[in-house]
Amino acid sequence: MNNFWKAAIILGAFLATAQCLTCRQCPVAIFGTCLFGSDVQCNNATKSCYRGEAQFNATGTLKLQIRGCLDTDLCEKTLTGSFLGAGYTSKFNCCSGNLCNGVPSVQLSLTVALGAAILSFLI
């Protein structure tokens, strides 16, 4: 019976260290606030959460923020590319703790979000 408890403790310690990283995921943030985000378990190969920002070169002011899981080799890098002919620059800032890449997201239903947008145009 003593060996059973030793095996259970070792197995429990192994499972605790083998757990995946949990990150905040946000497909897009408006004015720094994620409207439709969630917490996500990264796969075992992913060791980093990230906060990313994409800025379109033509406007200089339009910035999109995203969050999620990212491979470590893309951390702290600046990438450039084009989307539908518009050039952009992306930056990825990484961290390695559970939920380290942001505050909890604001969950809004589509009806509430559309209603708030319509109301803002009327006022």
Domain coordinates of the chain in residue numbers?
Answer: 2-122
- The proportion of the chain whose per-residue pLDDT surpasses 70, expressed as a percent, equals 67
Task: Indicate the range of 31-35, 42-46, 107-111, 116-120 predicted with least confidence.
Answer: 107-111
What is the CATH architecture assignment of 2-122?
Ribbon (2.10)
Name, in order, each residue with C-beta under 8 angstroms of 34's C-beta and a sequence gap of 6 or more: 24, 26, 28, 65, 67, 102, 105, 106
pLDDT at 13: 38
Give the pLDDT confidence score for residue 9 in this predicted structure: 43
pLDDT tens-digit profile of 38-89?
999 999 888 899 999 988 887 767 788 899 999 988 899 999 998 888 898 9
Mean pLDDT score across all residues of the chain: 77
pLDDT of residue 21: 92
- pLDDT category of residue 113 using cuts at 50, 70 and 90: low
Q: What is the pLDDT of residue 67?
A: 94
Give the span between the Cα atoms of 50 and 92, in whole angstroms.
6
pLDDT at 33: 79
- The pTM score is 0.63
Whose structure tokens read 């800032």? 93
Q: What pLDDT is recorded for position 76?
A: 92
How far CA 12 is from CA of 1, 5, 116, in Å, comes to 17, 10, 48
